[in-house]
Chains A and B, each alone.
Chain A
Amino acid sequence: MTEKQKNMASPQKKARGPIRHFQMPDTFGGKLYVWRFLIARRLVQIGVLILFIGTVHWGWTLFNQPVLSGNLSSSRFLGVIPLSDPFAVLQVIASRHWPFMDALIGAAIILLTYLLLGGRVFCSWACPVNMVTDLANWLREKLGMRSLFIVPPKTRYWGLLLALVLSFAIGVAAFEWVSPIAIMHRELIYGIGVGFIAVLGIFIFDLLIMARGWCGHICPLGAFWSIVGRTGQVRVAFDDASCTRCGDCVRACPEPLVLDFKEAAQHGMVRFGECTNCGKCIAICPENSLSFNLRACIRNNDSSSQSVHASQSESREEKL
């Protein structure tokens, strides 16, 4: 086990279970404010889906062009701009086939977008499976269900590696052929069939077997976006001065291990690529110590007040 993993493991183990310090406001407006990122994410997720469905079933057009035809694997915006899933294209290349230019350009556009936004923004803001796993997680917490077993969150990187190795060995894009994400999205757009069982499977898996099992531990696509996410410019900024280490953010976080106080204090932000920028921790922090910010801005703030933060975080770590 590396030094980093050790540091990450300690606060995570302590901070499990229900939220303790955060008080949900009584007013509806206050609740809406707490749910602002959740609402925004659902709007984006459903909005993207509706754009696809509207183009297919209701013939939506803009400037006489179909708005968004295709699905998350590959699509065309306004009949011109190609968009493709870079991981799918990577698998096609791994299977020793060279995709047509449209797919390559489309993959480059999407890849660049998420290189700027942070890779796993896809996971919490666009992926339809996120709604399923979030629902499973919400229900699991309501019922107080405990995981049957848990695998290391790094398992997903093995899944990613396996997907590419199998693509090479079989000669077809291995993950695309079994991906529940692709199946769910396809069936929502082109008509629901037997494949929806895969979605049900993920729901049951996350609910009864492993907490945050699919999105947080296994999904190879999530692993791909985690690697891309390391360069993400939009980050969760961390204000060490106001943080009381109550641990509510860690309890709310769907991604095990990304919220590490020591790391966050040192860099002034959550640096790990696995962070999905879902905003749950920001909404729930009683001290408002967390916020979205650009990496460049955080770095500037950080360098001006680093000495103060460093000394404070040292003493806090000792207390913990």
Chain B
Amino acid sequence: MSKPDRRQFLIRTAQMTGVAACVGAVWYPLVCSQAQASAHALRPPGALPEKDFMAQCLKCGQCVLACPYDTLKLSTVADVAPVGTPYFVARDIPCEMCVDVPCVPVCPSGALDRNFTDITKARMGLAVIDEETCLSWRGLRCEVCYRVCPVRDKAITLNLVHNDTTNHHARFEPVIHSEHCTGCGKCEKACPTEEAAVRVLWPQFVQGKLGEHYSPSSGEVFKTQDVGKGTDIAKELNPGDKNQAAPGVGYFNQSGGREGVIPGETP
């Protein structure tokens, strides 16, 4: 390569690098804004954590084809879910929770985990109830969500509370338990209010998280499904398991915790 040739080559390379940088500057944010989660576009059961899911998914739609209830859809551009990825909207068609989970084994990319076989372990979303518009919470006998729930009495329980308005009725408050809720969305589909009073959203949009340093104190109501802490707290507060007593847990805790106690309920 002669000297002027080399010079031209270097200039050319610099120019093309510049063009590539400009295109990249548009391309990069385009992909980033595309690859955004949407709280009510739920993923198929067995989906990897969202970031990994979006990286692994080849957007082939084989899970969509395998779905016998037309629940899953393949999103298009400017859709509720990132382009080309499978999703479902609970209010339209909820997941029927097939026991053989046909959508998972057809996935060629591993975006849906092959080791996932037990549909009750699915965490597609988490139901949340708007207590202001929920008919049952308002004191009517509705409880439709409770009746349609495939994991009834685990994912949704009814909490009987005295109705202060009439003074001689009970309110049957449906309560969601994240430990068992698969996020199938049947409750949202069945909810009779104009806009569903129970919504299934991505757990990370709904759930809080206790601090790592957190330790429960006296008289505290706790639930075993507390994220990341659940089993530890259960052990800490279990009087029968003295070996597990953690620092900061005093004698007054020993009979403190009761599973499933709902705020407002008098023990």
Contacts and interface: CB of A to CB of B under 8 A. Distances in A.
Give the dominant DSSP class at A's interface.
mixed
B78 interface: yes
Interface of B: 1, 5, 8-9, 12, 16, 19-20, 23-24, 27-28, 30-32, 34-35, 51-52, 54-56, 58-62, 64-65, 74, 76-79, 82-84, 106-110, 114
Contact of B61 (A158, A172, A186): A186
Nearest to B85: A177
Contacts, number: 152
B24 A56 contact: no
Contacts of A73: 58-60, 84
A126 B23 CA distance: 27
A161 interface: yes
Contacts of B8: 1
A169 B27 CA distance: 12
A171 B55 contact: yes
B77 A195 contact: yes
Contacts of B110: 98-100, 102-103
Nearest to B54: A172
Contact of A190 (B12, B19, B31, B64): B64
A303 to B, nearest CB: 31
Nearest to A171: B55
Contact of B58 (A69, A103, A166): A103
Nearest to B78: A194
A95 interface: yes
Contact of A174 (B31, B60, B106): B31
9 contacts: A74-B108, A75-B60, A92-B58, A97-B56, A100-B108, A155-B19, A162-B23, A170-B31, A183-B84
Given A92-B55, A177-B34, A84 B77 contact: no
Interface-central residue, A100, A106, A165, A191, by most chain B CB under 10 Å: A100
B65 A178 contact: no
- Looking at B1, B16, B65, the one whose CB has the most chain A CB atoms below 10 A away is B65
Given A176-B58, A190-B76, 12 more contacts: A1-B5, A56-B65, A82-B108, A97-B55, A100-B107, A100-B110, A151-B19, A155-B19, A169-B28, A171-B51, A182-B59, A186-B74
Contacts of A176: 58-59, 84
Nearest to A195: B77
Contacts of B109: 74, 84, 92, 99-100, 102-103
Interface in A243-261: none
A170 B23 contact: no
A65 to B, nearest CB: 12
A178 B74 contact: no
B23 A70 contact: no
A92 B59 CA distance: 12
B58 A178 contact: no
Contacts of B5: 1
